[in-house]
Amino acid sequence: MKVEGPDKDGMCWPKCTWFKCGKNVLRFKGNILWCDWLEQECLGPSCAYASCVRSKLLTEGRCGLVIRRRTRDSLSPDDFRLDVKLKGKLAKMVKGDDVI
């Protein structure tokens, strides 16, 4: 029975529809997924031949589809300072705060 996506902990597992064996030796034996090459139950993402059809298998065995990217701004708007030197009529307007 194939299930789409990772397990409840976000880990990749062999029963996922996107999990693929590089040796093409997986088959269902009752309720477990059996590896005919090793003659034992499938090791899952810890196997050297495990891959993901959607290319989302991460190195630690986690599914990349459930990982959220952590982003933060390295610069804030306060880090910028404008040093603009104006000449002529525009400088007089800005100096007098007559900007429209």
Residue 3 CA to residue 13 CA, distance in Å, equals 10
Higher pLDDT, 34 or 87: 34
Instruction: Identify the band that residue 87 occupies on the pLDDT scale cut at 50, 70 and 90.
Output: confident
CA angle 74, 75, 78 (to 5 degrees): 150
Domain borders along the chain are: 1-67
Q: What is the dihedral of CA 27, 33, 38, 44, to 10 degrees?
A: 120
Q: According to the model, what pLDDT value does residue 6 have?
A: 75
Residue that the structure tokens 């194939």 belong to: 2
pLDDT in tens, 17-31: 888 888 888 888 888
Amino acid of residue 44: G
| pLDDT of the residue at 30 | 85
pLDDT digits (tens, 9 = 90+) for 57-74: 888 888 888 877 777 777
Q: Tokens 């093409």 identify what position?
A: 24
